[in-house]
């Protein structure tokens, strides 16, 4: 009798001990789980805070210099900037030579990269089973990973030295075009893959010649994807500075000659950064560049998301 | 009597038209195939010519210094006793990129868990991933400006280095720059983990952390590794932001707060005024950079291909 009660007591006590341990285990597991979730929220918050910190601090510093002259006048020389600074005025002038130069460079680069990019993208899409097409795709991926400064060296060797015998718009736009090409190739291929096979088959069944299938069916139905890819590529190269430093150098005046140097907004920022008298202009130019690039970036995302077949 | 010839004429011309149409179509298809193939040759040619030009441009330097170029820490452009070696730039580049990756790793890891697991499919996740992708859109020079005017004074205040330039400053900015590259692919691989596996784990009483550790990470590990490798490749080639922050001093960095120089920065700084052997050495550094990024990207792509 006694034995059984002690046994019972023992049993009960071990049970409750076990229960305590079990509770403790569960509690520690739940605690760990909660801590991990807090860590995830914390680090994501830091990442997001960085976005706001960078964009916010730029806006706070740069918005006040942006006025009408900013978009209509060329960049000031060091002397006039110094004079204005010493007398406490706003630095005169703007960045119109950079804005026009950037547009010129990117337009020329797009004219080179977009047609070839789309053709190559269509080729990879059409021959996706072939080994050769897979190699072309891999090459596009490799080109996409090449650092922009190396592309600058290439454009220098190919264009600046033998062709234009000096820094030029052409060299800069070739560098940007090489950077755009793989982006457009891959986005074209990806958006063509989204077109339902049945659409294509229907067109072929009607006896449509293949170039018309591409022009009238494939491209129109993947148009938003193509445009999104092109805009994204443009937004990527618009802010590129390093390759332009080796190819177009910069120009204090607006220039339309293809074999002469031209300025670009990122090049102007680099120039302002190196010139202590022009510090005020850095921020407004940086805000302008970032705003332009981010708007293009968001627009490409919006276009891509808007239309799904 | 006269209906017959008309009919035959009609039929005959139609036949002729059909044949012509079919011929045209065959022809146009052939032309199209050739045009597409010719276009594909363009990108092949660009890549091949790129390697060729870089190699040709660096030949004078290669023939002069040989393999010693990789291991010599001396960079001396003084006329008469010119000597160029890339070691200090290689060390600087690898050090900044590795430190940047170490800093970016927790940010990217937890952000992709946040987007692809904890708040998957919610509005908050969309907003967070859009904002993170915006980081990839900000131009390099703007990161450089931000680092120079905002982060550098902060580093000085902390007393880490007198001027605020150095490996740590550049690595911090680089880390922010590569976070979007590291997250976007990780997000996809985490989302690809089959729901059944996760549900099975939950039904056995696993907590979320245990599901993440025992189900999600094992099956998403290689994809996440690939995304970090690709981010590392990005960090290595980054030019202007690093140039503005590293201090551009031609020494092997002695520590995290020491200044130094990187491969991309030395090209950006000296290419404009360089000529002769110096130019050739800079091009050889470009070639090295090309080879390094290509190998790293190829490794990342290989891992991705193995998953798919």
Please tell me whether residues A33 and A144 are part of one structural domain: no
Please tell me whether residues A40 and A114 are part of one structural domain: no
Please tell me whether residues A42 and A171 are part of one structural domain: no
CATH number at residue A116: 1.10.3720.10
Who contacts A133 (Cβ-Cβ below 8 Å, separation ≥6)? Answer: A123, A124, A126, A127, B40
- Taking the C-alpha atoms of residue B292 and residue B90, their distance in angstroms, rounded to an integer, is 10
Residue A95 has pLDDT above 90, yes or no: no
Q: Are B250 and B269 in contact (CB under 8 A)?
A: no
- Residues in A closer than 8 angstroms to B207, CB to CB, are 29-30, 32-33
Who contacts B143 (Cβ-Cβ below 8 Å, separation ≥6)? Answer: A54, B173, B176, B177, B241
Q: Which residue of B has its CA nearest to A287?
A: B142
Confidence of residue A164 (pLDDT cuts 50, 70, 90): confident
For residue B3, the model assigns a pLDDT of 46
Return the minimum-mean-pLDDT range out of A22-31, B20-29, B125-134.
B20-29
For B75, the 3-state DSSP assignment is strand
Q: Which ipTM score applies to this complex?
A: 0.88
Please tell me whether residues A178 and A42 are part of one structural domain: no
Residue A255 has pLDDT above 50, yes or no: yes
Q: Are A236 and B180 in contact (CB under 8 A)?
A: no
Please tell me whether residues B228 and B137 are part of one structural domain: yes
Could you tell me if residue A77 is inside a domain? Answer: no
Residue B37 has pLDDT above 50, yes or no: yes
Q: Are A99 and A255 in contact (CB under 8 A)?
A: no
Q: Are B134 and A297 in contact (CB under 8 A)?
A: yes
Please tell me whether residues B243 and B269 are part of one structural domain: yes
Please tell me whether residues A113 and A208 are part of one structural domain: yes
Looking at the 3D structure of chain B, how many domains does it have? 2
Q: What is the pLDDT of residues B198-251, one digit of tens each?
A: 999 999 999 999 999 999 999 999 999 999 999 999 999 999 999 999 988 888
Q: Which residues of B150-182 are buried (b: 16+ CB within 10 A; e: fewer)?
A: ebbeebeeeeebeebbbbbbbbbbbbbbbbbbb
Please tell me whether residues B27 and B156 are part of one structural domain: no
Please tell me whether residues B182 and B41 are part of one structural domain: no
For residue B14, the model assigns a pLDDT of 66
For B47, the 3-state DSSP assignment is helix
Could you tell me if residue A118 is inside a domain? Answer: yes
**Which structural domain range is residue B47 located in?**
3-57
As given in the structure block, the two tokens for residue B255 are 């520590």
Q: How far is CA B151 from the centre of its chain?
A: 24
Please tell me whether residues B53 and B129 are part of one structural domain: no
Distance from CA of A12 to the nearest CA of B (A): 26
**B281 and A CB contact within 8 Å:** no
Could you tell me if residue A80 is inside a domain? Answer: no
Could you tell me if residue B64 is inside a domain? Answer: no
Please tell me whether residues A60 and A163 are part of one structural domain: no
- Taking the C-alpha atoms of residue A37 and residue A291, their distance in angstroms, rounded to an integer, is 34
Could you tell me if residue A42 is inside a domain? Answer: yes
Q: Which residue of B has its CA nearest to A238?
A: B139
Q: What angle do CA A30, A35, A39 make, to 5 degrees?
A: 150
For residue B289, the model assigns a pLDDT of 95
Interchain contact, B43 vs A286, CB within 8 Å: no
Please tell me whether residues B116 and B222 are part of one structural domain: yes
Please tell me whether residues A31 and A144 are part of one structural domain: no
User: pTM of this prediction?
Assistant: 0.89
Q: What is the pLDDT of residues B91-113, one digit of tens each?
A: 999 999 999 999 999 999 999 99
- Taking the C-alpha atoms of residue A284 and residue A254, their distance in angstroms, rounded to an integer, is 19
Q: Which residues of A204-216 are buried (b: 16+ CB within 10 A; e: fewer)?
A: eeeebbbbbbbee
Number of A:B CB contacts under 8 A? 240
Looking at the 3D structure of chain A, how many domains does it have? 2
Please tell me whether residues B172 and B227 are part of one structural domain: yes
Confidence of residue B4 (pLDDT cuts 50, 70, 90): very low
Please tell me whether residues A153 and A294 are part of one structural domain: yes
- β partners of residue B207: none
Confidence of residue A185 (pLDDT cuts 50, 70, 90): very high
- Residue of B137, B263, B281, B294 to mutate, testing the A interface (most A Cβ within 10 Å of its Cβ): B137
- Taking the C-alpha atoms of residue A76 and residue A253, their distance in angstroms, rounded to an integer, is 10
Could you tell me if residue A282 is inside a domain? Answer: yes
Distance from CA of B131 to the nearest CA of A (A): 7
Please tell me whether residues B202 and B297 are part of one structural domain: yes
For the CA atoms of A163, A167, A173, A174, what is the dihedral angle to 10 degrees?
A: 40
For residue B56, the model assigns a pLDDT of 95
Distance from CA of B214 to the nearest CA of A (A): 13
Q: Which residue of B has its CA nearest to A142?
A: B294
Could you tell me if residue B70 is inside a domain? Answer: no
Average pLDDT, chain B: 89
CATH number at residue B176: 1.10.3720.10
For residue B256, the model assigns a pLDDT of 85
Could you tell me if residue A76 is inside a domain? Answer: no
**Which structural domain range is residue A165 located in?**
96-306
Please tell me whether residues A261 and A136 are part of one structural domain: yes
Could you tell me if residue A81 is inside a domain? Answer: no
Q: Are B43 and A136 in contact (CB under 8 A)?
A: yes
Could you tell me if residue B302 is inside a domain? Answer: yes
Residue A243 has pLDDT above 90, yes or no: yes
């Amino acid at each position: 009798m006694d034995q059984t009660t002690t046994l019972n007591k023992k049993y009960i006590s071990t049970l409750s001990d076990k229960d305590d341990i079990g509770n403790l285990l569960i509690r520690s597991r739940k605690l760990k789980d909660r801590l991990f979730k807090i860590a995830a929220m914390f680090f994501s918050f830091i990442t997001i805070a960085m976005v706001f910190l960078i964009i916010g601090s730029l806006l706070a510093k740069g918005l006040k210099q942006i006025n009408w002259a900013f978009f209509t006048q060329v960049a000031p020389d060091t002397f006039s900037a110094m004079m204005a600074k010493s007398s406490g005025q706003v630095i005169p002038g703007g960045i119109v030579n950079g804005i026009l130069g950037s547009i010129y460079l990117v337009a020329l680069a797009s004219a080179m990269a977009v047609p070839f990019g789309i053709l190559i993208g269509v080729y990879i899409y059409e021959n996706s089973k072939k080994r050769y097409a897979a190699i072309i795709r891999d090459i596009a991926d490799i080109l996409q990973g090449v650092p922009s400064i190396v592309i600058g060296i290439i454009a220098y060797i190919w264009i600046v030295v033998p062709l234009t015998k000096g820094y030029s718009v052409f060299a800069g736009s070739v560098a940007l075009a090489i950077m755009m090409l793989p982006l457009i190739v891959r986005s074209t291929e990806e958006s063509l893959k989204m077109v339902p096979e049945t659409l294509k088959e229907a067109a072929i069944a009607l006896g449509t010649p293949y170039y018309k299938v591409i022009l009238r069916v494939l491209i129109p139905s993947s148009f938003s994807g193509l445009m999104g890819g092109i805009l994204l590529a443009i937004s990527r190269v618009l802010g590129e500075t390093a390759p332009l430093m080796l190819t177009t150098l910069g120009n204090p005046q607006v220039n339309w000659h293809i074999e002469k140097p031209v300025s670009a907004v990122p090049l102007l920022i680099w120039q302002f950064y190196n010139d202590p008298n022009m510090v005020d202009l850095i921020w407004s130019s940086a805000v302008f560049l970032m705003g332009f690039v981010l708007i293009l970036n968001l627009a490409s995302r919006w276009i891509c998301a808007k239309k799904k077949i | 009597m006269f209906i017959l010839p008309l009919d035959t004429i009609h039929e005959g011309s139609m036949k002729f038209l059909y044949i012509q149409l079919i011929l045209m179509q065959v022809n146009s298809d052939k032309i199209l195939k050739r045009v597409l193939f010719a276009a594909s040759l363009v990108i092949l040619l660009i890549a091949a010519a790129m390697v060729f030009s870089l190699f040709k441009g660096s030949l004078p330097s290669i023939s002069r210094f040989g393999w010693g170029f990789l291991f010599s820490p001396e960079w001396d452009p003084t006329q008469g006793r010119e000597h160029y070696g890339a070691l200090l730039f290689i060390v600087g580049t690898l050090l900044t990129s590795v430190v940047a990756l170490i800093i970016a790793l927790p940010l990217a890891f937890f952000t992709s868990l946040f987007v692809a697991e904890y708040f998957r499919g919610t509005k908050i996740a969309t907003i967070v991933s859009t904002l993170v992708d915006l980081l990839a859109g900000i131009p390099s020079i703007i990161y450089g400006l931000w680092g120079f005017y905002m982060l550098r004074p902060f580093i000085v205040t902390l007393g880490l280095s007198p001027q605020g330039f150095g490996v740590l400053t550049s690595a911090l900015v680089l880390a922010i720059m590569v976070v979007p590259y590291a997250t976007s692919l990780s997000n996809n691989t985490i989302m690809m983990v089959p729901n059944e596996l996760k549900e099975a784990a939950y039904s056995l009483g696993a907590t979320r952390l245990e599901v993440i550790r025992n189900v999600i990470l094992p099956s998403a590990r290689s994809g996440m590794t690939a995304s970090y490798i690709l981010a590392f490749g990005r960090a290595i080639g980054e030019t202007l932001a690093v140039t503005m922050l590293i201090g551009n001093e031609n020494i092997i960095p002695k520590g995290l707060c020491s200044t130094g120089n990187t491969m991309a920065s030395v090209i950006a700084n000296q290419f404009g005024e360089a000529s002769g052997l110096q130019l050739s050495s800079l091009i050889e550094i470009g070639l090295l950079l090309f080879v390094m990024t290509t190998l790293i990207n190829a490794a990342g792509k290989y891992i991705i291909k193995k998953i798919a």
